[in-house]
Chain A
Amino acid sequence: MTDAPPMPPPVVGFEHVAKWYGQVIGLVDATVGIGPGVTGLLGPNGAGKSTFLKLLTGQLQPSQGTVRLLGVDPFADTSVHARVGFLPEQDSFYEEMTGRAFVRFLAGLHGCAARADAALERVGLADAARRRIRTYSKGMRQRVKLAQAIAHDPEVLILDEPLTGMDPVARRQMIDLMRDFEKRGATVIVSSHILHEVEAMTDRVILLYQGRVRAVGTREEIRGLLDTHPHQIRVHSARPRDLARTLLELPGVVGVRLDDGSVHVDTTDPEAVYDRLPRCVLEEGLPVEGLEAADVGLDAIFDYLVK
């Protein structure tokens, strides 16, 4: 799927953008527009998400093509960054500073150091604001990074793997905060390599793989694509041939392989397989010693999408 669904006028525009690091490809021929609201940037590690975001935040100059952020080239015109908040993936701290001093410093570069306290309060870090960053947990570090990104109330919020290291409650709060920005009409771009994280955050998804934009669409459209992907299930059994024969009769099963005491099932309807297996044991006496979904990883999904 390469047809982009209708989107509002783009806040972000990539036109045939490519980025190489010497011999290494970072991004290839990316053409995409992103409008207000939350947009997920999804792809496995090394897909080009960070390159995409660095180009967007003006940290990199494209090798080819044009990048537009709020109508201007973010690499050439640094003033546009006044309207952008960025949460980098890696920890980028002066560890001996307190969270408050850190956020005040970075907000001060926007001329709004006084906003630091409100930002820290908003991300739930007011109580720990005067502690040194080196004493923070991973989740608190993510929060302080978020605080520096939102302190100047940006029109565009760019978050690189924001949920990494956060506990479920903090994740929920982070997602609520993104939604709040969305309600205000802001543009939020959030990258992740975890499908269900992106699903929880947004309906609009850009799929990146091996430096290319593979698909742009709503969550339902991406899901639809993935649902036609034959899932692989591996079932361990002492009688794999008998089990394979039974499973082959199920709807949606498109292939079966035997491998060293296990059965590899390719199916477009994995639920049917999971429903049938207990009856195989109880009614037909077929031994089932274990089962595992063999290809739930995003890499496998992307492998399928690009075939």
Chain B
Amino acid sequence: MPIDIASYRRWEGRARATPLAAYAIAATMVRRRMRIRLVRWIVSVFSLMATGSAAATFLFTLEGEGDPMIQHQIRLFGIDNIDLLAVLNHRLEGTLGWFGILLAALVGAPLIAEDRRAKALPLYFSRPLGHVEYVLGKAASAAFFLALLLVVPRASMYLVEVAFSDAEGIALRQLPTLLRTLATGGLGIAVLASVALGVSSLTERPTYAALTFLGISVVAFGTAHHLADALRDPNLLVLEPYACVRRIALDLLPVPAPLRPGTEDLAAMDVGRAWTGFGIWTGLGLLVLVLRVRRVEVVT
């Protein structure tokens, strides 16, 4: 088909750098990921998990009319409705962490590696786009998927509880708890996304990036727990990024009921160390990311 110059009207507007460039990158990356069947499947599973969490909250809120087993747990833990969100969050935290790691490996770790492999960086950086916008766009797309896992279930639990609870003023009374749960979700997103993107910037092979991120997560988990047990020092759990987030979550959302089995070490960890560990892991990921993105810009 010949080029039809007559049909191509000169654009009267002025080309400009847009502050929404990061959003444009994030939206496109999310759409691309959602075309992958495995990603769609995992997102669906996580959505079901969110629904299940919300349904569990609903059952707890029925007080006396719910399942006898649930009532038994309420008596056993000695909790009331106000504490339910904190308890459920605590019980979900470990599972969410591991699913978060899997999701970050799947959707976060390949994000920059695939750009390097496709030699797409010149297309980005020959545009009115700064490194910060590029990194923000990529991070936002990873955060979107992680939020489906780490934020949506928590928000849905709150909404269901508010919708079905008879307690007076439940929405306002639970709001601080909701904000704290969302904050812990945000911390999880920050540490997982920054480490995943940092790893992603180290290679041109998306699969290697995903496997390396998983490897780091597993090795960090094993090392932290082994050393903490062997040396009887729970503060060594700081070596695992998501353990820091879980400890901070426990601090933000104190659980009145007995702790989930296996989390005693976590509770014994110093919360200040947990914040330090969180900062180091997140900062390390961002540092590698910034250095590598600047460098790959030069050598592609």
Contact = CB atoms under 8 A, between A and B. Distances in A.
A176 B3 contact: yes
A118 B5 CA distance: 10
Contacts of A158: 126
Contacts of B221: none
User: Interface centre among A83, A110, A154, by most B CB within 10 Å?
Assistant: A110
Interface in B1-25: 1-5, 7-11, 13-18, 20-21, 24-25
Interface string A110-153: 11110100110111111100000000000000000000100011
User: Interface centre among A80, A81, A93, by most B CB within 10 Å?
Assistant: A81
Nearest to B120: A92
Interface in B122-168: 122-130
A164 interface: no
A173 B4 CA distance: 10
B264 interface: no
Contacts of A58: 125-126
Contacts of A154: 15
B260 interface: no
A94 B118 contact: yes
A106 interface: yes
User: Interface centre among A86, A92, A123, by most B CB within 10 Å?
Assistant: A92
Contact of B128 (A78, A94, A127): A78
A57 interface: yes
B44 interface: no
Contacts of B114: 94
A109 B16 contact: no
Contacts of A124: 1-4
Interface residues of B, number: 42
B126 A94 contact: no
A106 B2 CA distance: 24
Contacts of B120: 92-94
A81 B3 contact: no
Contacts of A91: 118-119
B35 interface: yes
B119 A90 contact: yes
A59 B123 contact: no
A180 B3 CA distance: 11
B180 to A, nearest CB: 36
Nearest to B20: A111
Given A94-B120, A112-B11, A154-B15, A121 B4 contact: yes
Nearest to B4: A121
A205 B130 CA distance: 32
Contacts of B125: 57-59, 78
Interface in B67-92: none
A128 B3 CA distance: 14
A57 B129 CA distance: 12
A183 B122 CA distance: 27
A158 B298 CA distance: 18
A177 interface: yes
A33 interface: no
Given A91-B119, A126-B1, A176-B3, A82 B15 contact: yes
A264 interface: no
A184 B125 CA distance: 26
A78 B28 CA distance: 22
A119 B1 CA distance: 14
Contact of B3 (A101, A110, A173): A173
B24 A82 contact: no
Interface in B94-125: 114, 118-125
B32 A94 contact: yes
Given A90-B119, A94-B118, A152-B11, A109 B127 contact: yes
A88 interface: yes
A78 B130 contact: yes
A173 B24 contact: no
A112 B13 contact: yes
28 contacts: A58-B125, A78-B128, A79-B17, A81-B17, A81-B126, A81-B129, A86-B123, A92-B123, A94-B118, A95-B118, A96-B32, A97-B32, A101-B31, A106-B123, A109-B21, A109-B129, A110-B127, A111-B15, A112-B11, A115-B11, A118-B8, A124-B1, A124-B2, A124-B3, A124-B4, A148-B123, A154-B15, A176-B5
Interface of A: 21, 54, 57-61, 78-84, 86, 88, 90-97, 101, 105-106, 108-113, 115, 118-119, 121-127, 148, 152-154, 158, 173, 176-177, 180, 184
